[in-house]
Chain A
Amino acid sequence: MNELSKTFDVIVVGAGHAGCEAALAAARLGCKTLVLATNLDTVAFLACNPSIGGTAKGQIVKEIDALGGEMAINADKSLLQMRMLNRGKGPAVFSPRAQVDKNAYHVNMKRTLENTPDLYLRQGEATAVNVLADGTFAVATAVDLTYFSKAVVLCCGVYLNSKTLIGQCVRESGPNGFANARFLTESLRKLGFAVQRFKTGTPARVRLNSLDLAKTVEQLGESDVAPFSYKTESIPATKRSCYLTYSTEETKRIITENKQLAPIYNGSIQGVGPRYCPSIEDKIIRFADKERHQIFLEPESEDTCEFYVQGASSSMPANIQEQIYRSIEGLENVEIMRDAYAIEYDCIDATMLDATLMAKHIPGLFCAGQICGTSGYEEAAGQGIVAGINAERFVHGKSPFTLRRDNSYIGVLIDDITTKENTEPYRMMTSRAEHRLVLRQDNADLRLTELGRQIGLVDDVRYAKFLRKKQQIALAEKDFKTVVSPKTYGPLFEKKNEAVSGAGLTVDEMLRRTNINCKDLQQLGFFAEIDDDALYEVEINCKYRGYIEKEQEAIEQANKLENKYLPDDLDYLSIDGLRIEARQKLNKIRPQNLGQASRILGVSPADIQILIVYLSQRKKN
């Protein structure tokens, strides 16, 4: 290879869920892109649960899809079963969740990367990122090969100086025994990044044949859930079942008696773990009065009989793990195939990044995924696509692309992590999205496809589907004003337990009735030839109109601050009237607008007022 063959537009370090989206976005937008991974068998590796989606995460997957990303398509290709969570709790929180085949997921994604023009997949451990005099980058590897690029996206996942722990057995290792990255953290420190240490964990994998499934509750997929991707025509019925079971009093006893052996309780773990994903020992000790805990058994792949024991991650010694697992109903004779372990890793303080996920102090250097202190495949992939898009835009001198709190969960996620210092791994939740009523899984395409098209990631097939849906919605809503006589709607209303008045009702008025849906009105001859997904949209918009309109007003109010940009050269430290803490926080985070400034922890509403007045005074002078 000559030096030229080692020169790229973009280098993506890491081929996990963030790395894959970043690399695909950059390459598809015309950047010559190198993906460096410590091991090519880790491409899109599902290191924890064999599942994609869930509350808030399912929404993110749909958003990635609408922007022209890969995660949704890959999950559909690798599907074992699909469910819609939160049915009955309202459309704002409907969340698709899939069990996927872990092996197929890796193979399918790797194949997609391999088949993407301009994308180069290379095994190698990045050891240093150096900024050259002209602002471009040199990425050194452990085998003394150096690669050059105009932009770098770091998607190192949990591999930075990672350590896995099983009781007293501590290994310098990445997940699942994969090699970790031993040198890159030091390089990041030299580049001026603040580094912190987080931890997470994963449960054991157990042998299906050793389970007494009669003691569990089988969970099938649901056949009426739409695919993740708007491009996927259909998905298969349930290929593999999940099983639900419970921990017992015995589980409690074993853990309580062996508490001192858990690294998290005897001080051998320093990293901060997520409260939302506690180990089984953590659950039992912190919530001592709860009698039993739910355990889900999930298939890892069609190729194997390994099952994932959701809800029972642990870092106890292996012999104690055996006792714990055997105390679970239906697992009395369980054969563990892989031990549960905790993993500690380095990550950066993401408040050093801007909303494009570029380091504020190093133009052209982006970070995405768990390196930014988040957890979860979907969170990682959502950041990956945004970082990849922006790396391309940086290379080609285009304006930055950012998402907003009012148009996507990804926007909420990136704003949160770049605005508030994380003290634990960040997981997306619907409750973090103040406008979740308008950020639904069903309208992700309506929210983001146009943006994806402008960026250049939305192909003609996807765009045509999007235009058709929009057109169908408009067509359906044309029927709204039509008045229907009681004679026509009476029988339907009686059947549906709706009060019939003597007066005529418009289609809109009928649809607003609790028990009447679009399908019912199709029987009366309305909405003929309208696709189901468009009808669903029409129905939500009609039934929840009042609430949605209120939300839109709230968004408009909030946007008055969001749209006030803060100049880059503000010297916060010298602004009289601001409290010292606020000055320091503002100076550190350097928010892009007043809305973001108001969300910084330690900046009070009074500080914002003072900032506003200061700005107007400054403008005047």
Chain B
Amino acid sequence: MNNTIVALSTARGRAAIAVVRMSGDSAIDIAKKFFEPFPTQPNMLKVGTLHTQYFDEHAMCVYFVAPHSYTGENTVEFHCHGGTAVAQAVIEQCLKCGAVMAQNGEFSKRAFINGKQNLTNAEGIIEMIDAETASAAKAGANLLENKLGKMIVSLQNNLLDIVSACEVALDYPEEDLELPTVKSAQNDLNNISQKLSELISTATLGKIAKYGIDVAIVGKPNVGKSSLLNALLGCDRAIVSDIQGTTRDTLCESVNYRDIRFNFIDTAGLRNAADAIEAEGVARARRAADNADVVLHVTDDPTDRSVYPTIRPQVRIYNKSDLFDSEPCCVDSLVVSAKYGDVEVIKQTLYEMFSANEIETSDLLITNERHLDCLKRAKAQLQQAIADCQNTTLDIVTNSIKKAWAILGEITGTCAQEDIIDRIYSKFCLGK
């Protein structure tokens, strides 16, 4: 069984389209989970909807069945709108459904391994990989200069200490060394795991720094959601009317507030829909809320105490305050009048809610998808090692820790077996 890899196949940055490619045994199954309607036959580019956790993307999809593909494996390509944010979200979706990030040049590697010779221009590919390597090296160098790199190197170093101590215990049983008990290893592993968690948690801020905060505006029909969007944007973007169900589809627009981008998503009013089109609009509204970072639950009734059913954080907005006779019943809510434009308090509240001010002061943000993926896998592997400490023997525990160390090495580029051997000899006095 070959794992399924994913990567952006077109150049990074602004472009008309971006192609995200997946290759591996499960590529087609994974794609089917979030692209619909999935093409009915291979080698045909079909238009459809690609669901990501942030938004739905109108995209095109084509799949190739092994061995008739570039890599010789099952392959799926998504042709989506250009720009980093869209492609990143699509890649994230693939990762979520079971793919792993491709290493540099891994598609070409697989193409070779599977005996595919149809490289249309191998010269060009060498150049491309060359360039990729150069930038990877540069990125690596940059990484090593910043705090993140140093932190990962130091975590790896801590792991190496544990691994070498375990290896000494395994390879030199007769030695009279103060070897770490599994218990002390467990403490160290917990500490490292904790640090990994902290790093992983910066990815939320990192994502905000990179993509902004997704804010879904939901509520019953005619509570003024579209007016609120227009007020937040400071322009007449959404059509506003007194007719219930004016907004049928979701509408996303962004605005910057104190250097943070807010992506406000206006949605159809929630009610039992009158027709199929509106029903689809309501469904999309719910999906938008489920995928947003935060939900603005809008109401125009000061006695309304209802809560929107979502696991996402939500803020209740009492809109149309200019019409209220009494104070709204819930105090932990925001009271605004979209009509008169006093909506800055919403942005201010969201800004504080996401501690967005920390972005400026923090120099330790995970913004790279591959790094985040490595950190998450390393953490999972460490959790496995910690569990192994309880359940099994040192040989297995050591293997688990070694794997976590090697995964971190994918970020720093250092995971040679020789490092362990060197550490063993430099730290321990051994002799037969």
Residue numbers of A with Cβ under 8 A of B are 49, 54-56, 85-86, 88-93, 95, 246, 275-279, 283, 286-287, 290, 292-294, 296, 310-311, 313, 420, 429-432, 434, 436-437, 514, 544, 547, 553, 560-561, 564, 576-577, 601, 605-606, 608-610, 612-617, 619-620
B129-137, B308-316, B335-343 - interface stretch: B129-137
In the assembly, what is the distance between CA of A436 and CA of B430, in Å? 21
In the assembly, what is the distance between CA of A275 and CA of B421, in Å? 10
Give per-residue flags for B378-419: 1 if the beta carbon is below 8 A from chain A beta carbons, else 0: 000000000000011111100100000000000000001110
* Chain A nearest CB, measured from B104 CB (Å): 7
Q: Do A437 and B105 have beta carbons less than 8 Å apart?
A: no
Give per-residue flags for B117-138: 1 if the beta carbon is below 8 A from chain A beta carbons, else 0: 1010011011001100100110
CB-nearest residue of chain A relative to B169? Answer: A89
Q: Do B393 and A90 have beta carbons less than 8 Å apart?
A: yes
The residue from A276, A296, A614 contacting B425, defined by CB atoms under 8 A apart: A276
In the assembly, what is the distance between CA of A89 and CA of B432, in Å? 20
Q: Do A577 and B396 have beta carbons less than 8 Å apart?
A: no
Check B274 for interface membership: any CB of A closer than 8 A.
no
- Given A90-B392, A612-B112, 18 new contacts (CB under 8 A): A89-B394, A89-B395, A283-B429, A292-B176, A420-B418, A429-B421, A430-B167, A434-B417, A437-B396, A547-B399, A564-B112, A601-B418, A606-B136, A606-B137, A613-B112, A613-B129, A614-B126, A617-B122
CB contacts between A and B, total, < 8 Å: 152
Q: Do A49 and B432 have beta carbons less than 8 Å apart?
A: yes
Q: Do A93 and B418 have beta carbons less than 8 Å apart?
A: no
Give per-residue flags for B91-125: 1 if the beta carbon is below 8 A from chain A beta carbons, else 0: 00000000000011100110111001101001101
**List of A residues within 8 angstroms of B392 by Cβ:** 90, 544, 547
- For this complex, 6 residue pairs linking A to B, each with C-beta atoms less than 8 Å apart, are A283-B431, A420-B418, A429-B421, A431-B170, A436-B399, A437-B399
Q: Do B173 and A606 have beta carbons less than 8 Å apart?
A: no
In the assembly, what is the distance between CA of A577 and CA of B127, in Å? 8
**List of A residues within 8 angstroms of B394 by Cβ:** 89-90, 93
The residue from A88, A544, A560, A609 contacting B104, defined by CB atoms under 8 A apart: A609
* Chain A nearest CB, measured from B118 CB (Å): 8
In the assembly, what is the distance between CA of A431 and CA of B421, in Å? 8
* Chain B nearest CB, measured from A292 CB (Å): 8
- Nearest first, the 10 closest Cβ-Cβ pairs linking A and B are A90-B393, A90-B395, A617-B122, A609-B105, A92-B395, A287-B429, A294-B176, A275-B425, A606-B133, A431-B167
Q: Do B174 and A294 have beta carbons less than 8 Å apart?
A: yes
* Chain A nearest CB, measured from B406 CB (Å): 10
* Chain A nearest CB, measured from B340 CB (Å): 60
Instruction: For the complex, count residues of B whose C-beta is within 8 A of A.
Output: 48
CB-nearest residue of chain B relative to A619? Answer: B117
The residue from A56, A290, A432 contacting B417, defined by CB atoms under 8 A apart: A432
**List of A residues within 8 angstroms of B416 by Cβ:** 601
The residue from B104, B111, B421, B429 contacting A606, defined by CB atoms under 8 A apart: B104
CB-nearest residue of chain A relative to B406? Answer: A434
**List of A residues within 8 angstroms of B126 by Cβ:** 576-577, 610, 613-614, 617
Check B171 for interface membership: any CB of A closer than 8 A.
yes
Q: Which residues, 126 to 174 on B, are CB-close (under 8 Å) to A?
A: 126, 129-130, 133, 136-137, 167, 169-174
In the assembly, what is the distance between CA of A275 and CA of B171, in Å? 14
Q: Do A88 and B432 have beta carbons less than 8 Å apart?
A: no
In the assembly, what is the distance between CA of A313 and CA of B174, in Å? 16
Q: Do A431 and B391 have beta carbons less than 8 Å apart?
A: no
The residue from B119, B137, B174, B424 contacting A613, defined by CB atoms under 8 A apart: B119
* Chain A nearest CB, measured from B99 CB (Å): 16
Q: Do A436 and B395 have beta carbons less than 8 Å apart?
A: yes
Q: Do A431 and B425 have beta carbons less than 8 Å apart?
A: no
**List of A residues within 8 angstroms of B112 by Cβ:** 564, 612-613, 615-616
**List of B residues within 8 angstroms of A617 by Cβ:** 119, 122-123, 126
Q: Do A278 and B395 have beta carbons less than 8 Å apart?
A: no
The residue from B109, B122, B432 contacting A310, defined by CB atoms under 8 A apart: B432
In the assembly, what is the distance between CA of A311 and CA of B432, in Å? 5
Q: Do A86 and B431 have beta carbons less than 8 Å apart?
A: no
* Chain A nearest CB, measured from B420 CB (Å): 6
Check B304 for interface membership: any CB of A closer than 8 A.
no
CB-nearest residue of chain B relative to A275? Answer: B425
**List of A residues within 8 angstroms of B429 by Cβ:** 278, 283, 286-287, 290, 293
**List of B residues within 8 angstroms of A277 by Cβ:** 430-432
